[in-house]
Amino acid sequence: MSSHKAQKLRQAILKYNTEMSKLKDELVYSAEANLKYNKLVIQKAICKNELAKLKCTFWHKIMKKLHMNNTKDKLICDYFKS
């Protein structure tokens, strides 16, 4: 089941890559092409994220959860110390 879904995600990523390469020449001249290109980038990123989630094993998910609980959240003020 997951391998079939992974294959579909890979095909979608390839489709988005080809559509994006076709639009690259028109980006400078057309605002509509720019908007479509940005939407394709977002859809491609979503597919890549889902594919990465499928590749995670059970143990990897557990370790990631444990690591997330042990780290402290950084605030924006932590980067600008005076």
Q: Rounded to two decimals, what is the model's pTM?
A: 0.65
Mean pLDDT by 10 residues, the chain (82 residues): 82 94 87 92 92 80 70 69 59
Token digits of residue 22: 């076709």
Q: Tell me how crowded residue 16 is: count the other CB atoms within 10 A of its CB.
A: 20
| Domain contains 64 | no
Predicted pLDDT of residue 82 = 54
Whether 50 maps to a domain, the answer reads: yes
In a domain, 19, yes or no: yes
Q: What's the domain count of the chain? A: 1
**Within a domain: 34:** yes
Range of the domain at 34: 2-56
E strand or H helix that includes residue 76: none
Distant-in-sequence, close-in-space partners of 50: CB < 8 Å, separation ≥ 6: 9
In a domain, 78, yes or no: no
